Amino acid sequence: MTDIAESDWQPKIVAFLCNWCSYGAADLAGVSRLQYPPHIRAIRVPCTGRMNPKFLLAAFRQGVDGIWVSG
Amino acid sequence: MTMPSEFDQGIGPRKATYKPYAQAIPGGYAIDKRDRSPCTNGCPNHVNAHAYVSLIAQGKYQEAMAVILRTLPFPGTIGRICPHPCETACRRGEVDEPISICALKRFVADQVDIEDIPVPEIERRDEKVAIIGSGPAGLTAAHFLGLEGYESTVFEAQSVAGGMLRLGIPDYRLPPEVLDKEIRAITRLGVEIKLNTALGRDVTIDGLFKDGYKAVYLAIGAHKSMKLGIAGEDSKGVISGVDFLRQVNIGQLTRVDGSTVIVGGGDVAIDAARSALRLGADKVTILYRRTRAEMPALKEEVEQALAEGIEIHFLIAPTKIMTHNGLVSAIECLRMELGKPDASGRRRPVPLAGSEFNLPADLVIPAIGQRPHINFLSEIAGLELTRWRTVVTDPVTYSTGIDGVFAGGDAVTGPWIAIGAVAAGREAAISISRYLKGEDLLSGRDPVEFPQKNFVPIPEKIDKMPRAEQATLSMAERKVDFAEVELGLTEAQARAEAEKCLNCMSCCECLECVAACKAEAVKHEMRPETMNIEVGSVILAPGFETFDPSRYDEYAYNELDNVVTSIEFERMLSASGPLKGHLVRPSDHEEPKKIAWLQCVGSRDINHCDNRYCSGVCCMHAIKQAVIAKEHSKNSLETAIFFMDMRTFGKDFERYYDRARQEHEVRFVRSRIHSVDPESTTNNLILSYVDETGRINEEIFDLVVLSVGMQTPAGVLEMAERLGVELNSDRFCASNSFSPVATSKPGIYVCGAFRGPKDIPQSVMEASGAAAAAGSDLSPARYTLTRTAESPPEINVKGEPPRIGVFVCHCGINIAGVVDVAAVRDYATTLPYVSHVEDNLYTCSQDAQEQMLQIIKEQKLNRVVVAACSPRTHEPLFQDTLADSGLNKYLFEMANIRNHDSWVHGNDPGAATEKAKDLLRMAVTKVALLEPLKETTVEITQSALVVGGGVAGMIASTQLADQGYPVTLIEAKAELGGHALHLRKTWRGEDVSSFLKDLISRVNDNSRIKVHLNAELQEVKGFVGNFQSKIRITGNNGAKSTTLRHGVAILATGGRAIVPDEYLYGRHPRVFRWHELEDALEAKQLQDARCTVFIQCVGSREPNRPYCSKICCTFSIQQAVTLKETYPEMDVYILYRDIRTYGQREELYARARAAGVIFIRYSMEEKPVVNTDGGDRLQVVVKDHVLQRPLLLTPDFITLATAIEPFETKALAQLFKVSRNEDHFFAEAHAKLRPVECATDGIFLCGLAHYPKPVEESIAQAQAAASRAITLLAQKTLQVSGQVAAVNPMKCSACGVCVAICPFGAPGFNDRNLSEINQALCKGCGLCVASCRSGAIDLKGFEDKQIFAMLEEL
C-alpha cells in the first residue's frame, strides 16, 4: 500500500456530520488548529438519523472516493 | 507571554491573553494583568522593562525597541549608563540575581538602528517651543513635543549637544557616536539644536517669547561643582570633577601626569578617576570619607575602577591642599570613623583626632556634588528658587511661576540620574502640549500608587542561574584610549537572560495585541470600576477550591513529580488537555503501567487540616479516572484505589463501582496510607499502607494520584463576612434542611459547593432551586424589565427566482490569513442566482449587520449565504438580521470556511481557497432550494399538575403557586405528607413533624393550589404546554373523574422502604425496620435493653437492587447516637459494608465513634446471620473485619436499614412517555445538565421518585423542578422550529414505522388514518424521514433535494 501522504492522489471525501456532535467536533478541531488534509467537504445534517442510503449512492455516483458519516 | 494554565493545573501553558477554558462564559478572551511589574514601577520614567525583556526573549527586537521608545528616546545611552533601579526592584533577585535589564536595553539599541525607524506621520502644529539645554530633559521634551506635532528649538550653551550625557560621562562608558545617533533621531521630528547659545548671555526668556516661541522649557541641568571648602582649593592643579570630565569630553584636556587624587564617592569621582588613568596618570587614588557600603557610585563602576588599578581609600577626608611653587603638591587628610546616621540615613563620618597625614598629589579633583548655574536664573523675574538654588515647579506639571515657562531635570531636582531627567522631560512635554492647546494641565495626572503585591507567583521549581555579564575590554586596551569597556551581550546571552523573566505582571503591556486586533477590541486603559446594581435578591455560587496536599509530608507532593492531584490528573486525561489525552507521567513522559489513587486527601481529616467533612465526590471521580485511564492506555494498565469507605451513594453510582471492579478490574484496597517514597533508582514510588487487618504492605506504583477534597476558598470566606452571611463549623454557608438554598440573610440564596461539598447534579439542582427561591421574591416584578423584539412583517418571496446575496468574511486574519478572500468573493459572482457579493472584515460585526440589512432591502435579496465561521455559533445572529429585513430567517445558509477550512489547512493556502470555493458553491446551491418555513407558536396553559403530595410535591406546588401559577396537586393516599410522615428529625436534629404540619397547612391554605386526595391519574393527552389529564378521585360518595388542562407536570410520587424477607424480619417482634425503632423507643419498650444491633444495606447494593439507598447510614448512626446518649450502658453495634455519611454528615459518624458505638464491617459474601437461641433471644453472628474471626452478638433488638425503592412508576411513565432507569426510578434528561427534567418536554421530576435522598435534597430538587417548570410557563407561548418533518399524505401508506421509531412521539395517525407529525413535538432529527419507505416524509430545511443538490456540487 502506498503512503497517501506521499502520492499525488487528491481524494474527494464527503462527510455527513451530525449538527450536535461531529459538526461541533469539526468546529473544535478548528479552534484547536488541528491540521488535516484539505480533501473533506462536510455536509451538516440535523442527526445521522436523517441519513438516507440514497445520499451515499448519490455521493458515489458523483465520484467521491470516500464517505464519512459521523454522529 | 506564556505562563502555566490554571485550567490545566499548571501542566500546560497559557498566554497572558487567554480564554479561561474552552467552554468559558463569556466566551471571549481575557487579558490577565496583575500589579505593575516591579521593574517598570521602579523606573523613574516607568520604561516598560517587562515588555521589552519579554519581546527580546521572543527575538522581537523591533517591537522591543518600539516599547522602549514609547517613553525613552535614548535606549542606547540609558542602556549603558543607567544605575538601573529596575534591576534593584526585579523579583528575580529573590530567586538568584536580578535580570540584566539595563544591558538588555542596550542590546536592543545595538540591534535596531534608531535612525532606520520611520518617522510617523504627524500633523504639524503652528506653535513653537523654546527649550533651554540639550541634556536628557531638554531633548526628551523636544522628542515628545515633536511627536505631538510641535516644532522646537533647543538652545545649548556648550559646543556639543547632550548636556551631562555628553559632558559628564566619559567616552569609555558612552561612546559619543551612540548619543549623537540618538540625538540625530530626535532632530528628525522637527527639532533644531542651536549650539553655543546660552540663556542670559545670548537669549532671554522675554526675548524668546518676543521671537514667537509660545512656551519655554528650562532644562539647564546642574553643572556647577560644589566646593570642598578647604584651604588651597583654588590652587593650580585643582579642578572639579565635572569640569575635568567636560574638558576631557570636549578634547581640551588630553594628558594627565603624576599622581591624581580624587575626592568623593559618586559616579563623577569614579568617572574622573578612570578618565585620569586613561590620560596617563601614574597613580590614581580616590578618597572617600565613608566606607564602601555607603558609596553612592554604581557598584559595577567601582569594581571596574578597582580592577583597572585605581586605589580607593575609605574613611578619609581632605583638610588642606598643599602647594609647591604654586602647583599642587600634596593633600592633607584626616582619618574618619562612622558616627550616628545623618539626614540621609547614612552614618556621619567623624574625624579621628590626630590622624592627619599627607598624600602626594599632582592633580586634585574634588567631585562631591553639583548644583545649577544660577547666575542668570536669579535674574529672571518671577522664577522662584529653592535654598539649594534649584528651580521651584509644580510637582506634577513642572510649570514655574511664569506663564508658559516650565522647568525640569537636574535644574529642578538637583543632580540626579539621567532617566529621572528623561521622565521630567516627558512630563514637561505633556504639560506644554496641554498648555498650548488650552487644556487643563492637571486632569488625569494624579500619581497612581501600585501596591506591588499581586504578582504572578514565583514557580516553586525554578533553576537558579547566574546573571548574564557583558564581555569587557582587556585591561591592556583600556589604558590606551577611551574605547568602550563594556561590549554588550551576545544575542544568545540576551535571549537566555530575557527568558529568565518571571513575568510578574502577567500581561506585560507590550501592546502587540492592540496592533494585531483589527476590530480594535483591546483596551489596555480599562480600569476596575465600582458599580451599584439594584437587585431584588442575590444568589451566591462562588464554588470551592481543592485542598492543597503539600502540607502532608507523607505524600511528598512537592518533592515527587509523579505524585499528582486528582484535578491535575483530570487535565492529564482530557483529550483537549495539555497532554492531548495521551497519558504519560510527569517525570519522564513514559506511559504509566500502574497507578494508585489515594482517597480522602484533605477530607475526613482533622490532623493535617481542619476538614473533618467528607467531600462526597472523590470516590466517584477516582473510579471514573481509573476506568478512563484504562481506556486511554494502549498497554495493560493496573489501577488501584486506596480508600477507607467507598462512597458511591448517588444515582447509578453503585453500578459504576460494580462495573469498575468486575469489568474494568480496578482494584479497591481498603487501607490507610502510611507514606509515599521514591524508589532509589527509578522514578517509581513506593506506597506503604496498612490494610484492614493492621498489616503493613509495600507496593510500587508509577504514578500516584491524590484525591484532593473540596474546601471554601479564603476569598469566599471574606465575601461571606462582608455580606453578613453565616457560615457553619465546616466553613460552608450555613443553611437549614427545610429551606436549603436560603442563607441566614433574607433575600440572599446559596447553591453549589459553597453550601457544602457536592457533585455537579446536586449543584445544578440547587442552582435551579436557588433561582426558584429568588424568583418567588421577585414574582411581582416579572415582565417589568423585559422587552419584546419587533420584526417587520415577512415579505412573501414565493415564486420569485432566487436573488442570492453572498457575504464573505475575512474574520480579521483568521480566514483572510490563509484563504484568498478576494478570490472567493470573485468566484461567488460566477455562481447561478447570485446577485450581490461582498467581503467584510468581520461579517458578524454590528455595522456589517446593519449594512447587510440595507443591502437585502436595496438589492431585494431573497436568499443569503454567509461564508464565515460555524452556523452553530453564528447562524442565529444572521437569521435575526434576515428577520429584521423582512426575510424569512430560514432562507439562509452558511459556508464554514474558518473552523472547517482556514484554521485546519493553514499550511496549504491554495487548497484552502479551493475548498472555500467548494463549500460556498454547495451553500449557494442549497440556499437557492430553501423555502420559507413557518414556526409554530404554541400557547402554554398557565398551570401545573403535581403528582404526589409528599414533601417534594408540596414544595414544588407552593413554589409554583408563590410565583402566581395555579397548581393541581394529586395524592394517591388520603392525606398529604408522604414518606415524611414517618420522619422525626433530620440528621441535623431539626424537627420534621412541625415543618411538615406547617407545609401541609400552607398547601391547604393556598388559594392557587387545588389538592385532590385519593386521586389517581388515568389518562394524559397532549404535549408540552398543552396537556389534558384525566384524574379519578375516590370520595365518600364513590369515584368521579375530571379532566384537567395544564402546561407542565411535576412527578413527585415518592418512595418507600422495602419489607425484607431476611434477618427474621416479620418473624421476630424485636427485629425492626427504620422508624419502627423510634416508635418502640417512644413506647418505652426498650428501656431494659443492654445491646442493640443495626444492620445496614438490607436489600441495597445487592445484585437485584444494585444501588445505595443513600440515607440509611446517616439514619442508623443518628439513631445509634441517640441510643448511646439516652442509654450510655447499652452496647450499640452497627454492621455495615461502607459507612456513607457523605458531606458534613461525617460529623455524625465521628460523634458516634466518640460515643462508643461499635462499627463492624461485613462483606456481601459474608453477611451477618441472625438467629434466635432457640427461644426468644436474638443472636447475630458476624465476621469481624479486623480480627477476621466470627463474633457472636446477643442483641435485645435489631434494626434493619432496608432499601428505599420508588413507588409504582411504570403506569405514570407510560402516561407521560417518560423513561425510568433499571431500578424503576424516573430518569432525568441528563444526569448533570438537566437533572430535574424528563426527556419529554414539559415533564419534571423530584423527590424519592428520582432517587433516595434526605429531605433537604428533596426540597432543593422540588424547588428546582418548579423553577424549571416556570421557565416554560413564563414564556406563555412556545416557538417551535420550522425545521421539522412533514408528511405528504398523498404518499403515506400508513405503515406506522414513523410512529414507532420517533423517540419524541411526534408522528401519529390522524382521523384519516394517515401519519401526521405534531410540529410541537418534532425535534427535527429526521429519523422518520430516513425510515419512511414510501418517501412520504421530508425534513424541512434539510430536504432530500437540497442534500442531493449539495452532493452534485461536490
**Contact between A46 and B1339 using a beta-carbon 8 Å cutoff:** yes
Asked if residue B42 has pLDDT above 90, the reply is yes
Asked if residue B126 has pLDDT above 90, the reply is yes
Q: Are strands B1337-1339 and B1285-1287 parallel, antiparallel or unpaired?
A: antiparallel
The pLDDT value given to residue B850: 92
Q: What share of chain A is helix, strand, coil (3-state, %, to 5)?
A: 35, 25, 40
User: Is B1257 at the interface with chain A, CB within 8 A?
Assistant: no
Q: What is the pLDDT of residues B809-856, one digit of tens each?
A: 999 889 999 999 999 999 999 999 999 999 999 999 888 999 999 999
Q: What is the pLDDT of residues A15-67, one digit of tens each?
A: 999 998 899 999 989 988 889 999 999 999 999 999 999 999 999 999 999 99
**Contact between A62 and B1330 using a beta-carbon 8 Å cutoff:** no
**Contact between B900 and A30 using a beta-carbon 8 Å cutoff:** yes
The share of chain B scoring above pLDDT 70, in percent, equals 100
The pLDDT value given to residue A6: 64
Residue of A nearest to B19 (CA): A31
**Contact between B1330 and A45 using a beta-carbon 8 Å cutoff:** no
Asked if residue B488 has pLDDT above 70, the reply is yes
**Contact between B576 and A32 using a beta-carbon 8 Å cutoff:** yes
The identity of residue B1197, as a single letter, is F
B380 SS3 class: coil
User: Is B908 at the interface with chain A, CB within 8 A?
Assistant: yes
C-alpha–C-alpha distance, residues B1182 and B1059, integer Å: 22
Could you say which of B871, B905, B918 has the minimum Cβ distance to residue A41?
B918
Cβ atoms within 10 Å of B379's Cβ, excluding its own: 12
Average pLDDT score over residue span B805-809: 97
Q: Where residue B1188 falls among pLDDT bands split at 50, 70, 90? A: confident
**Contact between A45 and B1342 using a beta-carbon 8 Å cutoff:** yes
**A-chain residues within 8 Å CB-CB of B580?**
none
C-alpha–C-alpha distance, residues B969 and B1013, integer Å: 8
Q: Are strands B259-263 and B283-287 parallel, antiparallel or unpaired?
A: parallel
**Contact between B1344 and A52 using a beta-carbon 8 Å cutoff:** yes
C-alpha–C-alpha distance, residues B1013 and B1035, integer Å: 9
**Contact between A35 and B905 using a beta-carbon 8 Å cutoff:** yes
- Cβ atoms of B247 and B435 closer than 8 Å: no
- Cβ atoms of B298 and B275 closer than 8 Å: no
Q: Give whole-number Cα distances, B90 to B72, B100, B296, B502, in Å.
A: 20, 9, 20, 9
User: Measured between CA atoms, how close is A29 to chain B, in angstroms?
Assistant: 7
Q: Are strands A13-18 and A66-70 parallel, antiparallel or unpaired?
A: parallel
Angle at B309 between CA B304 and CA B314, to 5 degrees: 85
In chain B, the N- to C-terminal Cα span, in Å, equals: 43
Q: How many CB pairs under 8 A join A and B?
A: 110
Average pLDDT score over residue span B1332-1347: 95
For B85, residues 6+ apart whose C-beta sits below 8 A from its C-beta are B42, B43, B44, B417, B419
Q: What share of chain B is helix, strand, coil (3-state, %, to 5)?
A: 30, 25, 45
Q: Give whole-number Cα distances, B50 to B426, B447, B508, B524, B1251, in Å.
A: 20, 20, 6, 15, 57
The pLDDT value given to residue B575: 76
A44 within some domain:
yes
Q: Give whole-number Cα distances, B839 to B809, B810, B825, B858, in Å.
A: 6, 7, 6, 17
C-alpha cell of residue B1157: 458505638
Mean pLDDT of chain B: 93
A27 within some domain:
yes
C-alpha–C-alpha distance, residues B605 and B709, integer Å: 10
User: Measured between CA atoms, how close is B1322 to chain A, in angstroms?
Assistant: 12
The pLDDT value given to residue B808: 97
Residue of A nearest to B1335 (CA): A52
Q: Where residue A3 falls among pLDDT bands split at 50, 70, 90? A: low
Q: Where residue B944 falls among pLDDT bands split at 50, 70, 90? A: very high
Could you say which of A36, A42, A50 has the minimum Cβ distance to residue B1339?
A50
A2 within some domain:
no
Q: Which of A47, A55, A62, A68 to mutate to test the interface with B (most CBs of B within 10 A)?
A: A47
Residue of A nearest to B917 (CA): A41
Helices (H) and strands (E) in chain A, counts: 2, 3
Q: On the CB side of B925, how many CA atoms lie within 13 Å of its CA?
A: 18
Residues 38-67 of A with CB under 8 A from B: 38, 40-47, 49-52, 54-55, 58-59, 62-64
Asked if residue B26 has pLDDT above 90, the reply is no
The pLDDT value given to residue B553: 87
A1 within some domain:
no
B209 SS3 class: helix
User: Measured between CA atoms, how close is A1 to chain B, in angstroms?
Assistant: 25
Which residue range forms the structural domain that includes residue A65? 8-70
A32 within some domain:
yes
Asked if residue B344 has pLDDT above 80, the reply is no
- Cβ atoms of B890 and B930 closer than 8 Å: yes
The pLDDT value given to residue B621: 94
Smallest CA-to-CA distance from B219 within B145, B128, B131 is with: B131
The share of chain B scoring above pLDDT 90, in percent, equals 77
The owner of cell 535614548 is B74
**Contact between B870 and A27 using a beta-carbon 8 Å cutoff:** yes
User: Is A30 at the interface with chain B, CB within 8 A?
Assistant: yes
**Contact between A38 and B915 using a beta-carbon 8 Å cutoff:** yes
Chain Cα centroid distance, residue B1150 = 37
**Contact between A62 and B1351 using a beta-carbon 8 Å cutoff:** yes
User: Is B576 at the interface with chain A, CB within 8 A?
Assistant: yes
**Contact between B906 and A35 using a beta-carbon 8 Å cutoff:** yes
Q: Which of B813, B872, B892, B904 to mutate to test the interface with A (most CBs of A within 10 A)?
A: B904
Asked if residue B1064 has pLDDT above 80, the reply is yes
- Cβ atoms of B956 and B949 closer than 8 Å: no
User: Is A17 at the interface with chain B, CB within 8 A?
Assistant: no
Could you say which of A30, A42, A55 has the minimum Cβ distance to residue B903?
A30
**A-chain residues within 8 Å CB-CB of B576?**
28, 32
Could you say which of B899, B906, B1350 has the minimum Cβ distance to residue A26?
B899
Average pLDDT score over residue span B1229-1249: 92
User: Is A5 at the interface with chain B, CB within 8 A?
Assistant: no
Strands (E), B810-891: 834-840, 863-868
Q: Note the pTM of the prediction, 2 decimals.
A: 0.77
The pLDDT value given to residue B609: 87
**Contact between A55 and B1347 using a beta-carbon 8 Å cutoff:** yes
The pLDDT value given to residue B419: 96
**A-chain residues within 8 Å CB-CB of B896?**
27, 42
> What strands, in cross-sheet order, belong to the sheet with B1091-1098?
B1071-1073, B1197-1202, B1091-1098, B1131-1136, B1158-1161
**Contact between A12 and B1354 using a beta-carbon 8 Å cutoff:** yes
Structure-derived torsion over alpha carbons of residues B160, B163, B167, B168, reported in degrees to the nearest 10: -170
Smallest CA-to-CA distance from B135 within B434, B368, B370, B486 is with: B370
Q: Where residue B375 falls among pLDDT bands split at 50, 70, 90? A: low
Q: What is the pLDDT of residues B270-299, one digit of tens each?
A: 999 999 999 999 999 999 999 998 888 988
**Contact between B905 and A54 using a beta-carbon 8 Å cutoff:** no
Spell out the domains of chain B, with CATH numbers in brackets: 33-116+456-516 (1.10.1060), 129-223+373-433 (3.50.50.60), 225-369 (3.50.50.60), 545-711 (3.50.50.60), 726-779 (no CATH), 804-931 (3.40.50), 1057-1205 (3.50.50.60), 1281-1352 (3.30.70.20)
A3 within some domain:
no
Smallest CA-to-CA distance from B988 within B760, B765, B1143, B1157 is with: B1143
User: Is A34 at the interface with chain B, CB within 8 A?
Assistant: yes
Query: Number of structural domains, chain A?
Result: 1
Q: What is the pLDDT of residues B715-742, one digit of tens each?
A: 999 999 999 999 999 999 999 999 999 9
User: Is A24 at the interface with chain B, CB within 8 A?
Assistant: yes
User: Is B1233 at the interface with chain A, CB within 8 A?
Assistant: no
**A-chain residues within 8 Å CB-CB of B918?**
41
User: Is A32 at the interface with chain B, CB within 8 A?
Assistant: yes
The pLDDT value given to residue A1: 47
User: Measured between CA atoms, how close is B767 to chain A, in angstroms?
Assistant: 25
